[in-house]
Amino acid sequence: MKLALTILFLTIIAIATLDASVIPKAKVKITQNTVSSLIEGLNSENLGLKSSSAYMIGELQLSKAVIPLMKILREDESDEMRIAAALALYKIGTPIAIHAVKQSIRFDDSERVSKLCANFYSEYLKIKLNDEEKNEDTVKTAVK
């Protein structure tokens, strides 16, 4: 178990130190082992490892981790961990992930978690609205 956690930690550090400006996202290959390690990290009792795994999952937009993140968002006792899960879900951005964040606005017992989920959801709506406006402008330009 210690070996697996060490490998997971080293994988997270290696991924975190990649300079995104040097290596385009499309060329970074994410192996199944990396995905499995990060998802396993979500099940750790170590809060640092657990939150780091959630962060990296969000950065890498790993949609395979949506269900475990949703479970953390609903059930974890730590406000910080629920916030980390909500942020990762927001970054993943799939409809089910965004819906989970939206539901936490209404149903989370912590005012802090609810408020941050509202901020994430609001930011999502702004981005979506901007994208729709850009698409409308493109269509109008093409029609002319």
We report the CATH number of the domain holding residue 62 as 1.25.10.10
Which pLDDT score is estimated for 133?
A: 81
Q: In terms of residue numbers, what domain contains 85? A: 2-143
**What pTM does this model have?**
0.77
Two tokens at 7?
């490998």
What's the domain count of the chain? 1
Counting beta carbons within 10 angstroms of the beta carbon of residue 118, is it exposed (0 to 12), middle (13 to 18) or buried (19 or more)?
A: middle
Which pLDDT score is estimated for 21?
A: 45
What CA–CA distance (Å, rounded) separates 32 from 114? 33
- Residues in the chain predicted with pLDDT less than 50, given as ranges, are 19-24
Which pLDDT score is estimated for 25?
A: 52
Q: What is the dihedral of CA 25, 28, 30, 34, to 10 degrees?
A: -100
